[in-house]
């Protein structure tokens, strides 16, 4: 190829790139599947309606059958006819055009020529029934909830939506996994916007102080809720592989998107208690660990345990994935001709088994990150009976589970982690741990002569479990979330290890009378 031709190609490519970047994308008041919308900007009414029609009266419509649900967005039950009219959508279609939509909750829409994404700018006049503005977070929450808990129809209908992000309180962006599908921005405009849990507790009685919302902190052990590896699978027997996969879970982003950043990342099997190891090992804990030098990861003796972290923006996973690639390469995994990771001719693929759809929205972003590493992970949802049967028989690759802990750990640790239980079907050693050091530390913990020694021995066990990366830790709360009518009295000090409502709160007649007077005031 001659230099002038190369230069010409580069110049043409640069021109095309510049054109793409300079594409003039203006907010639209409406969008059509093909061509232009029928109605001009600022139109006052649709041709087939009478804006002068008198308002009032009732109409009764007939319908067949009955109903047992007021929720039209889930698969369970038969929804009441017309119940979908309670909530509105981002855009509204007309009945004299084949497929056009105009702003409803959204005021304007933005999209590129290839329709590879769409932005909805919300109408500042769009409000909930209590007068509070509808926000971009409400839209994202509605989408995520319908995708994770709603009728399966939504997962099929919006299968090409890669992400939904609130860019500002009134601007939400949907990015697609393909370009050229002209229908995608339109069907996203059909998304019903639903009230979040937070919105449900942002009603007039709350704002008036009649209902109180409180976060009552406690010191109960949170245990370990996590993605658990099945070490019986050869795929997960290398600790470097397990550590690498942990770098694909962007907790901070998911916590922000799905839980208002309310959760804390779990950094211990005994989180939120004095039993949790933290910082550098020292004192009696370090003394115990030194006895196993050479049998445990060196880091357990001289390094603070910490999990991968991001800013939560969704834009800075590159460093974590780079570390993951390095660990996987050290473990012998290389990119194959198929474009995926391979070792000894075998692809890196596994299944994540769950029995509740609540985790789906948390897992799918991790699956996308694993794909960037060349790993094929699939989510498998089964009913509770099948799930329990597979757990009993250790028939899974990875699952989401919780290892609950008490303030006084003891014999149950054998069922969780001991070698003797690894092959006993139905045991709680789901992971399949067979580690002589863990076995000895469990025996030490059970035989602890006093509280101080129990805490030190638990710290040692905790640290060895963490540094072996048997799980990818998830999250926990260190408080109770309580909403109650302000007609109770309670002690100034809350119990450390319980909520105490039934045992320690009392009915306050004076407070109750004030609430009654405010409720009954016209």
d(CA 202, CA 483): 11
Q: Which of 68-77, 172-181, 210-219, 260-269 has the lowest mean pLDDT?
A: 68-77
| SS (HEC) of 397-451 | CEEEEEECCCCCCCCHHHHHHCHHHCCCCCCCCCCCCCCHHHHHHHHHHHCCCCH
User: Can you say whether residue 260 is alpha, beta or left, with left for phi > 0 and alpha for psi between -120 and 50 degrees?
Assistant: left
pLDDT confidence bin for 320, thresholds 50/70/90: very high
What mean pLDDT, rounded, does the chain reach? Answer: 90
Cα 101 → chain centroid? 31
pLDDT recorded at residue 260: 85
- Answer whether 308's CB lies under 8 Å from 266's CB: no
Q: Which of 76-80, 122-126, 210-214, 413-417 has the lowest mean pLDDT?
A: 76-80
Q: Order the strands of the 106-110 sheet from edge to edge.
A: 106-110, 117-122, 171-176, 161-168
- pLDDT higher than threshold 50 for residue 6: no
Residue 421 is classified by DSSP as G
Side-chain-side CA neighbours of 45 within 13 Å: the count stands at 7
pLDDT per position as a tens digit, 119-137: 999 999 999 987 889 999 9
pLDDT per position as a tens digit, 386-407: 999 999 999 999 999 999 999 9
pLDDT per position as a tens digit, 405-447: 999 999 999 999 999 999 999 999 999 999 999 999 999 999 9
pLDDT per position as a tens digit, 236-246: 999 999 999 99
Grouping H, G, I as helix, E, B as strand and the rest as coil, residue 298 is coil
Q: Which uninterrupted H or E stretch holds 162?
A: strand 161-168
CA distances from 307 to 113, 243, 246, 268, 316 (A): 41, 10, 8, 10, 15
pLDDT confidence bin for 23, thresholds 50/70/90: low
φ and ψ at 293, to 5 degrees?
-60, 130
- Residue 452 tokens, joined: 């101080």
**Distant-in-sequence, close-in-space partners of 275: CB < 8 Å, separation ≥ 6:** 221, 268, 405, 407, 409, 455, 458, 459, 462
- Residue 270 tokens, joined: 């005994």
pLDDT recorded at residue 2: 38
pLDDT confidence bin for 200, thresholds 50/70/90: low
**Distant-in-sequence, close-in-space partners of 243: CB < 8 Å, separation ≥ 6:** 327, 469
- Residue 169 tokens, joined: 């309180």
* Predicted TM-score (pTM) of this structure: 0.68
């Amino acid at each position: 190829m001659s230099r002038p031709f190369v230069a010409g190609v580069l110049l043409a490519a640069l021109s095309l790139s510049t054109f793409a970047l300079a594409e003039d994308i203006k907010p639209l008041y409406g969008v059509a599947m093909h061509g232009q919308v029928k109605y001009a900007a600022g139109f006052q009414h649709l041709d087939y309606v009478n804006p002068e029609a008198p308002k009032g009266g009732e109409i009764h419509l007939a319908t067949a059958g009955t109903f047992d649900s007021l929720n039209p967005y889930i698969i369970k039950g038969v929804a009441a006819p017309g119940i979908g009219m309670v909530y509105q959508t981002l855009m509204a279609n007309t009945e004299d055009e084949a497929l056009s939509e105009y702003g409803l909750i959204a005021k304007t829409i933005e999209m590129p020529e290839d329709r590879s994404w769409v932005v909805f700018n919300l109408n500042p006049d769009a409000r909930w029934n209590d007068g509070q503005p509808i926000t971009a977070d409400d839209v994202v929450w509605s989408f995520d909830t319908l995708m994770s808990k709603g009728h399966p129809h939504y997962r099929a209908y919006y299968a090409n939506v890669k992400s939904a992000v609130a860019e500002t309180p009134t601007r939400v962006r949907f990015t697609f996994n393909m370009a050229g599908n002209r229908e995608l921005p339109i069907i996203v405009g059909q998304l019903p916007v639903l009230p979040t849990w937070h919105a449900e507790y942002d009603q007039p009685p709350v704002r008036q102080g009649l209902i109180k919302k409180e976060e009552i902190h406690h010191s109960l052990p949170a245990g370990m809720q996590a993605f658990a590896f099945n070490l019986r699978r050869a795929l997960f027997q290398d600790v470097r592989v397990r550590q690498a996969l942990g770098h694909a879970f962007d907790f901070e982003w998911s916590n922000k998107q799905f839980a208002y950043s309310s959760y804390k990342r779990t950094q211990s099997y005994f989180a939120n208690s004095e039993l949790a190891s933290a910082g550098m090992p020292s004192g009696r804990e370090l003394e115990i660990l030194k006895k196993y030098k050479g049998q445990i990861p060196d880091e357990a003796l001289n390094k603070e345990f910490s999990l991968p972290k991001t800013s939560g923006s969704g834009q800075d996973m590159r460093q974590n994935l780079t570390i993951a690639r390095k660990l996987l390469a050290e473990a012998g995994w290389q990119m194959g001709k198929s474009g995926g990771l391979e070792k000894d001719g075998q692809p890196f693929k596994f299944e994540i088994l769950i029995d509740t759809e609540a985790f789906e929205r948390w897992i799918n972003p991790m699956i996308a990150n694993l794909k960037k590493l060349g790993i094929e992970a699939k989510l498998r949802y089964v009913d509770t009976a099948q799930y329990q049967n597979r757990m009993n028989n250790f028939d899974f690759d990875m699952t989401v589970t919780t290892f609950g802990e008490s303030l006084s750990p003891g014999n149950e640790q054998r069922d969780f982690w001991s070698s003797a239980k690894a092959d006993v079907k139905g045991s709680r050693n789901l992971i399949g741990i067979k580690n002589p050091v863990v076995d000895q530390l469990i025996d030490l913990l059970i035989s602890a002569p006093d509280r101080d020694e129990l805490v030190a021995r638990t710290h040692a066990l905790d640290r060895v479990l963490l540094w072996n990366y048997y799980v990818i830790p998830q999250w926990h709360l260190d408080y109770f979330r309580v909403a109650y009518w302000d007609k109770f009295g309670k002690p100034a000090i809350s119990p450390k290890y319980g909520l105490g409502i039934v045992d320690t709160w009392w009915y306050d007649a004076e407070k109750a009378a004030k609430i009654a007077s405010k409720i009954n005031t016209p």
